[in-house]
Amino acid sequence: MTKNQPTLRKTVSTADLYADPPPLPRHASLSRTLTRLQQRPRGISRGNPFMQPQATVSQTSLRFHNTDARDSAEDAGRRNAPTFHESHRHSVAAPYFSNLIDFDDDFGAPKEQQSPPPVPPKIPEIPTFEPKVEPTREKEGPEKYTKPFTDFMTANPTVFHAVDAVAKDLEKSGYKKLSERDSWDLKQGGKYYVERNGSSLIAFAVGEGYEAGNGAAVVAGHIDALTAKLKPIPKLRTKAGFVQLGVAPYAGALNDTWWDRDLGIGGRVLVKEHGKIVTKLVKLDWPIARIPTLAPHFGAAAMGPFNKETQMVPIIGLDNSDMGSFSGKEEAGEWKGSVLGGEGTFAATQPERLVKAISEELSIRDYSSIVNWELELFDIQPAQLGGLSKEFIFAGRIDDKLCSWAAIQALLNTSTSGSSQLKIVALFDDEEVGSLLRQGARGNFLPAVIERIVDEFADKGVRSLISRTYANSFLVSSDVIHAVNPNFLNAYLENHAPHLNIGPAVSADSNAHMTTDSVSTAVFQHCVDRDMGVRKQDPKLQVFQIRNDSRSGGTVGPMLSAATGIRAIDCGIPQLSMHSIRATTGSLDPGLGVFAFQSFLENFESVDAEFKA
């Protein structure tokens, strides 16, 4: 057990599903918390930015009154059972968790001593909104989304497959495909999507009461993932009887987790058909390639570090025609040219057996009709549930198909009626390599789409209407974030270590690698709070920040908000083993992500009214 574990458990601001029964409350009852917050009207802007202002605390508490959720939460034994059906509530609103939250640490001692109010505190009369009552919507639980997510992950290993699957989901729900090449004819109440490069996608729904200049609720993430891409000419000389494939890492792939995995090949193929060049997606999802480790018995040679160019070359078959020539040195066989497709064709530059396998999969008879392709290796192991009670999801490429998928499901759950805003979900390629391509978030994709929408609905003054749109909008930059790893608690910051199956985590960074600030946190928290009790399990917002002696990763948030001026927050779903070929998230986390993003998309318009002077 590590040194800081008890402290971490005490101070972590989330319900701990798997913890031992907590000790008796030490201090900091809700009444005391309220006193402190009342003394410090600017409380939300100092200390912990993730605390709600006093008014919100009161509203939240009031709204719990007379609800089933409160009764069940008050069950003293609830934290002993690893159940997924309990109602989680938001941090400050939960006196039951007061022993888990050390307010002294966050706020310091008040300047003037004040007598504590009676317990429970007299809640002042404040304006409040009614809890959302939607008799037509059955209370849904996050588990509803678990299998659809794992199915999506298994079926869509490449960025092209993932974008295509999202597009099909959108079309099933009435979203119309638009092309950037053509003029658009948009209508109030309409739902649309646009793709760029087949690897990024923006979907948007126009509120029935939308007018140019109104705001947009935007969720943006990245749908690319670490992978190993086939080189332009991946054919290699046969070596010691092995047929190998030339691949190059995309972002941090070919790291140590890529050894000894069963790898398939997939991507997109350009084929000439009837005088047109068409794109076809292909997926050879049996274990074709493998990067074999060297057994530890070989001593120093097996120790690493390893060369990604020479020692992590996948094997894809055997060709022992050079048997007998192996001398133990780095000798390569003869270069064998291919005649498939004929001289000068693309197919002739590619490994023969790969050309045949792809052609068979796509029913291509004439190899010369293959114009080009972009293929990559992917771990073929399906996304699976894990853990004694199936509380985990084990899958490849969770970063960041997880938030991308959840954001799209959230959008599909929303309606355009009663809305005078835009609801947008933007999924970008190339985040893992810096986003600086036209399909990346540093490109003009999102501004171009928003500006075209405004232009469609504007009569005059388009430029100022665009500026007003950005000023009235809000962006949730949703990228997966590090869940706490029980074996490395020292690597995490106290109070900032998200748990699985609790809810998304708001990510902050003091050096602007994240967009989160106190205002954006308050906006997003209000959106989520408004739906408390609407579902079987509320998504409880958690907090992540990296330690001062580590370095934060980046997201699409800063570049998008800087380019447009849109207010923004970084909030993503927790996962373990980021950038591993095989990662872990909670089985309820996809659904909890859907809930949080949907609450934002649906509630931002009314919440934002509170923030407008």
Interface contacts to Zn ion, rule CB under 5 A: 399-400, 479
CB of 301 to Zn ion, least distance (A): 34
DSSP-H helix ranges across 110-199: 146-155, 159-172
Longest dimension (CA), the chain: 91
CB of 478 to Zn ion, least distance (A): 9
Cis peptide bond N-terminal to 124, omega within 30 = no
Burial class (CB in 10 A: 0-12, 13-18, 19+), 60: buried
Distances (CA, A) of 33 to 52, 121, 186, 269: 11, 10, 50, 60
How many other CB atoms sit within 10 Å of the CB of residue 332?
12
In the complex with Zn ion, the residue whose CB is nearer, 228 or 583, is 583
In the complex with Zn ion, the residue whose CB is nearer, 8 or 226, is 226
As a whole number of angstroms, the distance between CA 358 and CA 108 comes to 65
In the complex with Zn ion, the residue whose CB is nearer, 106 or 570, is 570
Angle made by CA atoms 565, 477, 194, in degrees to the nearest 5: 85
Distances (CA, A) of 241 to 111, 235, 312, 327: 78, 14, 17, 12
CB of 579 to Zn ion, least distance (A): 9
Handedness of CA 394, 395, 398, 404 (dihedral sign): negative
Burial class (CB in 10 A: 0-12, 13-18, 19+), 52: buried
List phi, psi (to 5°) of 436: -90, 55
DSSP-H helix ranges across 393-483: 398-413, 445-457, 462-471
* DSSP conformational letter for 81: S
In contact, 522 and 608? CB cutoff 8 Å:
no
Using alpha carbons, select from 568, 157, 610, 595 the residue that is nearest to residue 401.
157
As a whole number of angstroms, the distance between CA 223 and CA 398 comes to 9
Which residue is it, tokens 């400050």?
A: 92
In the complex with Zn ion, the residue whose CB is nearer, 15 or 427, is 427
CB of 506 to Zn ion, least distance (A): 16
As a whole number of angstroms, the distance between CA 218 and CA 216 comes to 6
In the complex with Zn ion, the residue whose CB is nearer, 432 or 531, is 432
In the complex with Zn ion, the residue whose CB is nearer, 264 or 553, is 553
CB of 479 to Zn ion, least distance (A): 4
Q: Which residue is nearest to Zn ion (CB)?
A: 400
Burial class (CB in 10 A: 0-12, 13-18, 19+), 143: middle
CB of 520 to Zn ion, least distance (A): 19
CB of 295 to Zn ion, least distance (A): 34
CB of 340 to Zn ion, least distance (A): 38
- Residue type, position 58, single letter: S
In the complex with Zn ion, the residue whose CB is nearer, 53 or 440, is 440
As a whole number of angstroms, the distance between CA 348 and CA 356 comes to 11
CB of 554 to Zn ion, least distance (A): 9
Using alpha carbons, select from 387, 410, 478, 411 the residue that is nearest to residue 441.
478
Q: Are strands 227-235 and 370-379 parallel, antiparallel or unpaired?
A: antiparallel
In contact, 201 and 194? CB cutoff 8 Å:
yes
In the complex with Zn ion, the residue whose CB is nearer, 89 or 397, is 397
CB of 29 to Zn ion, least distance (A): 39
In the complex with Zn ion, the residue whose CB is nearer, 73 or 480, is 480
CB of 222 to Zn ion, least distance (A): 6
CB of 6 to Zn ion, least distance (A): 32
* DSSP conformational letter for 210: -
